[in-house]
Structure 1
Amino acid sequence: MAQIRNFGPVARLRSDASSHVIRYGNAGIRQSGRGLVFWFGPRTSSIAEVPMDDREATLFVKGRSQDFQAVTVQGMLTWRVADPELLASRVDFSIVMTNGQPRSEPIERIVTRLAGLVSQTTLEYLAGAPVRALLDAGIEPLRARVETALADAPSLAEIGIAVVAVRLASLAPSSELERALQTPTFEALQQKADEATFERRALAVDKERAIAENELANKVELARREKLLIAEEVENTRTRATGEAEAMQVEAAAEAERIRTLETAKSEAELARMAIYRDLPPAVMIGLAARELATKLDRIDHVNVTPDLLASLAEGFRKMPPVVDAR
């Protein structure tokens, strides 16, 4: 915005580099340029200030498709002044001589004209196709069509306005229609998700079956090995029992042989002793018997000697052979 300082009958104006200032006087242009600083007479001059920087305007168009469905378009439009003197001659950009404020709202008028052109082009485009085709095509065909329409619009060229860029953010139906259109896609995605879930479950079942089969195979193998182990233990037990039985048989045979040998020796000794006793006289036998009896008794209280016993002893002594002295 231009800065104006008044000094009595004259004033001094200082403008920014982003503004094009046009000073009119005596039915013509006295000065024109960007970032001017000059003195002027407020009563004899008229000044217009045209902004030269890029400006943006918000776009919002609500229309109907060929099948009578509500569609909303949103975006941004960037424009600039191509010919400031031409624009100042068609649109009032004059400022107040005392403070530099605009006398009217020229920017709003330009934005309104741009929005009208965009709305006309957008409504024609939306009405030319059903909503499904519009949504499938996206925003790029509409953006290109709006940009072409604005570039070729004579109503903009004749006032010195140029469109820099058109950016569309969305092309969307109403919320109810959007939900209705999303339902088939949502159902298809849900179906794919269910199929993926079923496949995952089937895969899990296959893995569980493989694990169960592996466990069963392990159990069968363990049972087989256990059977072999039991058979080996039975065989070892049988072998051990057979060995112990054979050892006991050998031991019993040895013990029997020892007893047999001992008894044979006792029998032979007894036979030899009996042979010795067989040749002894009765008196000697009686004496030996008496001695043996005496060894078995703890004490002798009394002894009975009968005449028969004495007669037998005397007869025995008589029959005994005489003892020869070897000396």
Structure 2
Amino acid sequence: MADITRYPFARHLRSTPTTHVIHHRRGKLAHTGTGQAFWFRPLSATLSELPVDDRELPLLLHARTADFVDVTVQATVTFRIADPDLAATRVDFSLDPATGRWRAAPLQQIAGLLTETAQQHVLDVLAGLPLLQALTDGVALTRERITAGLLADSRLAHTGLALVDARVVAVRPDPDVEKALGTPTRERLQTEADGATAQRRALAVERERAISENELQSKIELARREEQLVAQRGANQRRGVEDAAAADAVRTTAEAEREERLAQAHAAARRAQGEADAAAEAARLAAVAGTPPEVLLTLALREFAGQLPDVGTLVLTPDVVTGALARLVRP
């Protein structure tokens, strides 16, 4: 808005570069243009201020499709005042000289004009489309129709307005209808999700079964190897017993043979000793053959004495010595 400074008997107005100010003094044009700054008398001046920058107007339009379903169109229209002098004659943009504010609501009047015009074009487009087509193609069709209709609207041109851009964000039905339309898709997605869950569970069960089978096979293989180990241990023990028995047999045979050889050697030695003793005895007997009995007795006593134990003291009585000497001198 323009800045109006109050002084005694006069006022000073200063506008911005985005506002167009029109000043009439006593019915005649005194100032017009953007970025104006001038003095004026409030009793003789008429002021109008028009914004010339681009203005955004959000629109929420309602329409009905060919199958009688209500939809909502969310759009935005960008416009500007292209001919401020013309617009000032069609819409009330006059300012209060004391406050610098609009006496009316010109922008709301322009917004109403644009909304009603866009609403008519939206109704024309969506009335000939079924709901599904309106939801899929309605954004592009309504945007094109709103743009073409506002550009061709003579009332807007006669008001000094120009369309900059028109955008349609969404075409949506009522929440209940939208939920009903999304139900098949949600059901399909839920079915796919359930199928994926079932497949994942089946895969998990299959993996568990494979793991159980692997564990069972491992246990069977372990039992088989334990059986082989027990059998091998038994065979090793039997082989050890057999080897020990064979070793014992060999050792027994060797000892028997050794004992037999020792017995044979002892027998041979005894035979040789007997033969030697017999030969010695025969030689001794041959040596004493023809020897007198007294000599033989003496030899016998000597030999007997050699076989007697040691005698510490020998007592000879006269009788024994006399008898022995008598037998020695006897012829």
Instruction: Give the TM-score range, shorter chain.
Output: 0.7 to 0.9
| Change in CA separation of 1:201 and 1:65 when aligned onto 2, cut-off 3 Å | same
Q: Which amino acid aligns with 1:201?
A: R
Q: Does 1:157 align with 2:157?
A: yes
Q: TM-score, normalised by structure 1?
A: 0.75
Q: Report how far residue 150 of structure 1 moved.
A: 1.4
Matched, 1:58 2:58: yes
Q: Which residue of 1 aligns with 2:249?
A: 249
Q: Give 2:37's aligned residue.
A: 37
Amino acid of the structure 1 residue aligned with 2:193: A
The residue number in structure 2 matching 1:2 is: 2
Q: Please state how far the C-alpha of 1:223 moved relative to its aligned partner.
A: 5.2
Q: Secondary structure at the match of 1:207?
A: helix
Match runs of 1:200-279 below 5 Å: 200-219=200-219, 221-222=221-222, 225-226=225-226, 228-230=228-230, 232-264=232-264
CA distance in 2, matches of 1:253, 1:72: 119
Report what 1:193 is aligned to. Answer: 193
Give the C-alpha shift of residue 85 in structure 1: 0.5
Partner in structure 1 of residue 101 of structure 2: 101
Residues 264-307 of structure 1: CA deviation (Å, up to 9, x unaligned)? 45666777888879x99xxx9xxx9xx9xx9xxxxxxxxxxxxx
The structural deviation recorded for 1:190 is 0.8
> What per-residue deviation string (whole Å, max 9, x for no partner) do you get for residues 127-151 of structure 1?
2212122112252322222122112
Alignment of 1:146 onto 2:113: no
Partners in 2 of 1:119 and 1:138 — Cα distance?
14
Aligned to 1:173: 173
Q: Report the Cα offset of residue 41 of structure 1.
A: 2.9
Quick one: distance in 2 between partners of 1:91 and 1:136?
Answer: 39
User: How many angstroms does 1:211 deviate by?
Assistant: 3.6
Deviation at 1:250, TM superposition (A): 0.9
Query: Which residue type is aligned with residue 4 of structure 1?
Result: I
Q: Deviation per CA, 1:63-99, whole angstroms, max 9, x where unpaired?
A: 2222111212223222211110010011111111223
Unaligned runs of 5+ in 1: 295-327
Cα 1:150–1:245 shift into 2, 3 Å? same
Q: Secondary structure at the match of 1:158?
A: helix
Deviation at 1:104, TM superposition (A): 1.0
Q: Which runs of 5+ in 2 are unaligned?
A: 283-299, 310-331
Stretch moving more, 224-233 or 156-165: 224-233
| Cross-structure match for 2:123 | 123
Q: Which amino acid aligns with 1:113?
A: L
CA distance in 2, matches of 1:92, 1:252: 143
Specify the alignment match of 1:318 in structure 2: none
Superposition deviation, residue 228 in structure 1: 4.9
Moved more, 96-105 or 217-226: 217-226
- Measure, in 2, the Cα distance between the counterparts of 1:125 and 1:135: 12
Residue 15 of structure 1 deviates from its aligned partner by 1.4
Cα separation, 2, equivalents of 1:5 and 1:203: 83
Residues 126 and 138 of structure 2 are in contact (CA less than 8 Å); yes or no, is this contact kept in structure 1? no
Which residue pairs with 1:114 in the alignment? Answer: 114
My pick for the range that moved more, 44-53 or 265-274, is 265-274
Q: Are residues 270 and 8 of structure 1, via their aligned partners in 2, closer, same or farther at CA, if it must alter by over 3 Å? A: closer
**Counterpart Cα distance in 2 of 1:3 and 1:234:** 117
Instruction: Report the aligned-residue RMSD.
Output: 3.2
For residue 159 of structure 1, report the CA deviation from its aligned partner.
Answer: 0.5
- Contact 2:151–2:162 (CA under 8 A) maintained in structure 1: yes
Structure 2 residue identity aligned to 1:154:
S
Counterpart-to-counterpart distance in 2, 1:38 and 1:190: 71
Q: Partner letter of residue 52 of structure 1?
A: V
- Aligned pair count reads 286
2:319 aligns to what? none
Q: Report the equivalent of 2:70.
A: 70
